[in-house]
């Protein structure tokens, strides 16, 4: 007999079915007993009645710890008092796996637990329906993002995660042993995206892990994260990149909301209606908001929060772009193209959402001589990048792109308190288990 899911039973009144899941609860009340069996789609009430149910089934359930895994065969019956409006009258129950006791973390208890405790026992934590919903949202956003990219002619690619050198600076690199050499975990696919522009791929995107050795113990930083990167060739301006990115975000959130609503997820109602275009705020203007005009340094976390508050309260913009970053701020980003008529400015931009940076990108420098000048200005030796620079020696079109933090988007749209809750098994400065 094929297994059916909890969410399917409402349409199967009178049918004989098999379900499987964790034993969430068992209560015996005189001549009747109720077991609640939970699978990944919800919970089912299993009703046992003395005189009508095999006594061995009562005995089996009475001795089982919560969260044991069982398989139940029975008949679906309508019941106004039961969850989902149906109950399962069992004919057979099989124990598949017995849970140990006591549980280190409650699954359905209303008593809360500290985040560290939850992450230490993550498998149990992930059984909670509210926690699972975060990853249903994540899956819906990933699906929407992929569809939005493909609809615009982007090809999904995979680039190496073991590198000889980094693209974002040596201080945040994770070194690893690579046979007789030293290698590094990829901070981003930046250099390879650009090389693919020279290879004629023209529009690519990648959704893949990236790694930053930043000792930041904040709610918005983790050391292993999912980077959503896009790159486009033959661009005319940074505005072309911004327009493409905002449309992708708009369409992905719209698709995610529709999919979650169809599945009955309560998170669907909390997803915003994303209106485009997002407002553009030049970096110099934002410095004025912060009272630090001409500071020529990047925004701190507190700066970003204040910018988000002003953008939403005074401009009605939860999503927004910060544009025209000064060259002095992006000097270490050797591949960032300087504006031809204003070399003190780049075409680089950030995409923000309610005070959190989601993405950063802009036009890249495609002219080899100017790229080498950028290397020197950043204090980076170009001799360490032979494969990357070869792509520029044999014809490189104008191009640009962005890197987008998927975990941050999930964290913010799910409304959870910490970005670690947006990853199944998060990694940070102190956590390598489970």
pLDDT tens string 300-334 = 999 999 999 999 999 999 999 999 999 999 988 99
> What pTM was computed for the model?
0.92
Strand order in the sheet with 356-363: 155-156, 203-211, 224-233, 399-405, 356-363, 349-353, 319-323, 280-282
Domains along the chain with CATH numbers: 6-97 (2.40.50.140), 126-422 (3.30.930.10)
Confidence (pLDDT) at 83 = 76
DSSP 82: S
pLDDT band, very low/low/confident/very high, at 296 (cuts 50, 70, 90): confident
For residue 134, give the H/E element and its range.
helix 129-151
Mean pLDDT value across the chain: 94
The pLDDT of 148-153, averaged and rounded, is: 98
Structure token digits, residue 41: 């789609």
Distance CA 53, CA 22 (A): 21
Question: For position 235, what pLDDT does the model report?
Answer: 98
Contact criterion met (CB below 8 Å) for 20 and 71:
yes
Alpha-carbon distance of 403 to 349, in angstroms, equals 11
What confidence score (pLDDT) does residue 263 get?
A: 87
At 154, is the pLDDT very low, low, confident or very high (cuts 50, 70, 90)? very high
Name the pLDDT band for 168 (thresholds 50, 70, 90): low
In angstroms, rounded to a whole number, what is the distance separating the alpha carbons of residues 353 and 304? 10
Residue corresponding to tokens 């992930």: 126
Which of 139-153, 163-177, 225-239, 342-356 shows the lowest per-residue confidence on average (mean pLDDT)? Answer: 163-177
- The pLDDT score that the predictor gives to residue 216 is 78
Catalytic residues: 212, 214, 220-221, 357, 360, 408
- Long-range contacts: 366-373, Cβ < 8 Å, 24+? 366/197, 366/337, 366/392, 366/396, 366/397, 366/398, 366/399, 367/392, 367/396, 368/392, 368/393, 368/396, 370/337, 370/338, 371/334, 371/335
């Amino acid at each position: 007999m094929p297994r059916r899911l909890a969410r399917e039973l409402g349409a199967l009144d009178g049918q004989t079915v098999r379900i499987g899941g964790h034993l969430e609860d068992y209560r015996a009340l005189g001549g009747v007993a109720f077991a609640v069996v939970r699978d990944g789609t919800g919970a089912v009430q299993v009703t046992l009645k003395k005189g009508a149910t095999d006594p061995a089934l009562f005995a089996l359930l009475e001795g089982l710890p919560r969260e044991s895994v069982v398989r139940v065969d029975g008949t679906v019956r309508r019941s106004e008092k039961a969850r989902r409006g149906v109950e399962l009258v069992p004919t057979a129950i099989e124990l598949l796996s017995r849970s140990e006791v006591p549980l280190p973390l409650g699954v359905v208890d209303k008593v809360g637990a500290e985040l560290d405790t939850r992450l230490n026992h993550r498998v149990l934590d992930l059984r909670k329906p509210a926690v699972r919903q975060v990853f249903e949202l994540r899956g819906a956003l990933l699906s929407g993002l992929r569809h939005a990219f493909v609809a615009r002619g982007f090809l999904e690619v995979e680039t190496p995660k073991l590198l000889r050198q980094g693209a974002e600076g040596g201080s945040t690199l994770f070194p690893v042993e690579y046979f007789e050499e030293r290698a590094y975990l990829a901070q981003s696919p930046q250099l390879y995206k650009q090389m693919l522009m020279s290879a004629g791929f023209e529009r690519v995107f990648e959704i893949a892990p990236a790694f930053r050795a930043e000792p930041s113990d904040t709610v918005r930083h983790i050391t292993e994260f999912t980077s959503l990167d896009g790159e486009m060739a033959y661009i005319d301006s940074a505005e072309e990149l911004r327009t493409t990115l905002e449309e992708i975000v708009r369409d992905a959130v719209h698709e995610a909301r529709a999919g979650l609503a169809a599945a009955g997820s309560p998170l669907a109602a909390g997803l915003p209606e994303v209106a485009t275009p997002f407002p553009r705020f030049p970096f110099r203007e934002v410095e004025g908001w912060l009272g630090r005009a001409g500071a020529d340094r990047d925004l701190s976390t507190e700066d970003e929060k204040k910018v988000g508050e002003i953008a939403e309260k005074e401009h009605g913009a939860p999503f927004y772009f910060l544009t025209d970053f000064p060259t002095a701020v992006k000097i270490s980003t050797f591949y960032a193209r300087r504006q031809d008529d204003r070399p003190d400015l780049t075409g680089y931009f950030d995409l923000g959402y309610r005070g959190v940076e989601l993405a950063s990108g802009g036009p890249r420098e495609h002219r080899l001589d100017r790229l080498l000048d950028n290397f020197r200005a950043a204090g980076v030796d170009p001799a360490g990048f032979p494969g990357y620079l070869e792509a520029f020696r044999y014809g490189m079109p104008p191009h640009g792109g962005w890197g987008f933090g998927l975990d941050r988007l999930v964290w913010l749209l799910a409304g959870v308190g910490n970005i670690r809750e947006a990853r199944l098994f998060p990694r940070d400065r102190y956590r390598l288990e489970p």
